[in-house]
Amino acid sequence: MDPYTLARLAGLVGGLCWVARFVAGGGGAVGGGLYYLGALLVAVALVAAGAGLVSTSATWLRAIVGVAFPLLVWSVLEVLHQNGNATTIDGVVGLVVAVVAATQLVRSKPPKPPKPPTSSRSAKPRGGERRAGRSTGRSTGSHAR
């Protein structure tokens, strides 16, 4: 299983943990456990989502954006916590994360199996190409004469 599929699964389970915390009322040891488990899994999903925003050629930039993206989301979440009920906001954000992760899981394509190597002798000539040794008896440029 590729890392992005694992990250999507982490986002789905983490979002569902926050939704379950909202439904349960958010109090007690169970609510706290669901919050921290969901936060850890959502953070993993956000790191992968941030790293996926950058081209694969710039590894250093993928690492920076992978760390910065969850921090940006967390700072917005903290601002929202100041203006409303934290449990409700976490439940709504968890629902959004779970829906996005589930959608990406459904849309993701399985990796294609590698093509078997072909011999150069068995390769068929493509249109416009000629195989070596198939001469017409004319020299190069004789078509103009």
Tokens of 134: 């198939």
Domain map of the chain by residue range?
A: 3-107
Mean pLDDT score, 109-137: 62
For 129, how many CA atoms within 13 A lie in the half-sphere containing its CB?
A: 7
Q: pLDDT digit string (tens) for 90-108? A: 999 999 999 999 999 998 7
Cα angle, residue 13 at apex, residues 67 and 8 outer, rounded to 5°: 55
Mean pLDDT score, 58-85: 92
